[in-house]
């Protein structure tokens, strides 16, 4: 049998083991304290009025099973559809935003184009994209003033869920993570002095249609910066 002292030691060790994950949680919480956070997990089967949707006739963004938003194209060659903040562009890149989403693309893999990230316009953006004409893998991309830097993440496209994370570390560095693994770092052509907004889009380049199912979108910025 254990002595009282030995029992106390076991309890202390157990408490330490239990609290170690909490320390990590507390660190994350403190890390986010003071940051402005946008969070939408579409729970409650609602696509609220913070989002706007647009694209070609026949497209839609609707709440799907298990509180995902399904972004669907029409069935005509070249149809696309997207959700964004309708041009409000409330995120200054100089405040070093962090962007996370979990999303699942679907459609004929050879015919689908997916873009996920932070946008001002076609000439100023930070994104993940897949386009089979470019590669059968996901790419990370920064464009500033129409000049771009692309990096192949070497992660193959699939009709499956992916976790995408963009971390604007500084005016000269953006890190891109897929499924919790750092897959690209870009140090050039970062649109560091523009205002952007989240945009998630899907396009199908042959008849038949495609979709992007999104679990959540989380963005944080540092209000103390810039």
CATH of the domain at 121: 2.60.120.200
**How do residues 105-164 score in pLDDT, each as one tens digit?**
987 777 889 999 999 999 999 999 998 778 899 999 999 999 999 999 999 999 999 999
Shared domain for 44 and 124, answered yes or no, is: yes
**Any domain includes 156:** yes
* pTM, 2 dp: 0.83
The count of other CB atoms within 10 Å of the CB of residue 60 is 13
Q: What is the residue-wise DSSP string for 170-215?
A: ETTEEEEEETTEEEEEE-SS--TTSEEEEEEEEEESSTT--EEEEE
User: 2 and 107, same structural domain?
Assistant: no
If one compares 154 and 75, the residue with the highest pLDDT of the two is 154
Number of domains the chain is built from: 2
% of the chain with per-residue pLDDT over 90: 55
The stretch 188-198 carries a mean pLDDT of 97
- Closest by CA position to 47, among listed 76, 25, 68, 78: 68
Q: 16 and 49 share a domain? A: no
Instruction: Please report whether residue 54 resides in a domain.
Output: yes
- Across the range 76-99, mean pLDDT stands at 92
Q: Are residues 20 and 7 in the same domain?
A: yes
Asked if residue 226 belongs to a domain, the reply is no
Q: Which domain holds residue 210?
A: 36-221
Whether residue 203 lies inside any domain: the answer is yes
Give the single-character DSSP code of 56: S
The model's confidence at residue 29, banded by pLDDT at 50, 70 and 90, is low
Flag whether 80 is in a domain.
yes
Question: Which tops the pLDDT comparison, 208 or 77?
Answer: 77
């Amino acid at each position: 049998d254990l002595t009282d002292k030995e029992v106390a030691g076991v309890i202390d060790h157990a408490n330490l083991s239990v609290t170690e994950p909490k320390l990590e949680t507390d660190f994350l919480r403190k890390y986010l304290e003071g940051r402005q956070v946008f969070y939408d997990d579409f729970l409650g089967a609602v696509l609220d009025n913070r989002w706007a949707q647009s694209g070609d006739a026949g497209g839609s963004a609707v709440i799907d099973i298990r509180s995902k938003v399904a972004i669907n194209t029409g069935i005509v060659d070249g149809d696309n559809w997207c959700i964004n903040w309708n041009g409000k562009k409330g995120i200054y890149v100089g405040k070093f935003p962090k962007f996370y989403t979990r999303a699942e693309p679907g459609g004929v893999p050879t015919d689908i184009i997916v873009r996920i990230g932070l946008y001002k316009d076609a000439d100023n953006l930070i994104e993940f994209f897949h386009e089979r004409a470019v590669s059968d893998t996901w790419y990370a991309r920064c464009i500033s003033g129409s000049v771009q830097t692309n990096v192949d993440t070497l992660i193959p496209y699939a009709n499956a869920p992916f976790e995408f994370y963009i971390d604007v570390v500084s005016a000269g560095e953006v890190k891109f993570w897929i499924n919790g693994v750092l897959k690209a770092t870009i140090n050039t052509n970062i649109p560091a002095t523009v205002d952007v907004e989240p945009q998630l889009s899907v396009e199908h380049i042959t008849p038949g249609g495609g979709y992007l199912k999104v679990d959540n979108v989380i963005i944080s910025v540092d209000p103390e910066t810039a």
